[in-house]
Structure 1
Amino acid sequence: MAALIIKTIDNRYSQQVVDLILPIQQIEFQVPVTLADQPDLQDIDNFYITPGGGFWGAFEGDLLVGTIALIATGHNAGAIRKMFVRKEYRGRETGVAQQLLDKLIQYSHQQHINDLYLGTVDILKAALRFYERNGFNVVSKKDLPSYFPVMSADNVFYHRHLL
Structure 2
Amino acid sequence: MKATELIKPLNNGFGNQVVGLILPIQQEEFNVAITVNDQPDLLDIETYYQQPGGNFWGAFHQDELVGTIALIAIGHQAGAIRKMFVKQEFRGKEKSIAQQLLNQLMAYCEAKNITDIYLGTIAQMNAAQRFYERNGFQQIEAADLPSYFPRMQVDNLFYHLDLKKQA
Q: TM-score range with shorter-chain normalisation?
A: over 0.9
For 2:38, give the aligned amino acid.
D
Distance 1:33 1:62 in 2: 27
Deviations 1:118-160 (A, max 9, x none): 0000100000000000000001001100000000000000000
Residue 11 (structure 1) aligns with: 12
CA contact under 8 A between 2:90 and 2:97: conserved in structure 1?
yes
Residue in 2 aligned with 1:34? 35
**For the aligned residues, what is the CA RMSD?**
1.0
**2:72 equivalent in structure 1:** 71
Aligned twin of 1:107: 108
After TM superposition, list the pairs within 5 Å mapping 1:5-154 onto structure 2.
Answer: 5-154=6-155
Paired residue type of 2:8: K
AA of the residue aligned to 2:12: N
Distance 2:51 2:17 in 1: 20
* Contact 2:67/2:85, CA 8 A, preserved across alignment: yes
- For these two proteins, the number of residue pairs brought into alignment is 163
8 Å Cα contact 2:3/2:95 also seen in 1:
no
**Cα distance between partner residues in 2 of 1:143 and 1:2:** 38
Residues 2, 61 of structure 1: 8 Å contact kept: no
| TM, length-normalised to structure 2 | 0.96
1-side partners of 2:44 and 2:68: how far apart? 15
Supply the distance in 1 between the matched residues of 2:5 and 2:111 (Cα, whole angstroms).
23
Helix, strand or coil for the counterpart of 2:160? strand
Any idea what the Cα deviations from partners look like across 1:100-130, whole Å, max 9, x if unmatched?
Answer: 0000000000000000000000100000000
1:65-92 residue CA offsets vs partner (Å, 9 max, x unmatched): 0000000000000000000000000000
- Structure 2 unmatched runs, 5+: none
Q: Which runs of 4+ in 1 moved over 3 A?
A: none
Distance 1:57 1:116 in 2: 19
- Could you tell me how far apart the structure 2 residues matched to 1:128 and 1:86 are? 17
| Paired AA for residue 31 in structure 1 | V
How far off is 1:97 after superposition?
Answer: 0.1
Match of 1:155 in 2: 156
Give secondary structure in 1 for the equivalent of 2:37.
Answer: coil
TM-score under structure 1 length normalisation? 0.98
| d(CA) in 1 for partners of 2:157, 2:79 | 17
SS in structure 2 at match of 1:138: strand
SS at match of 1:157: strand
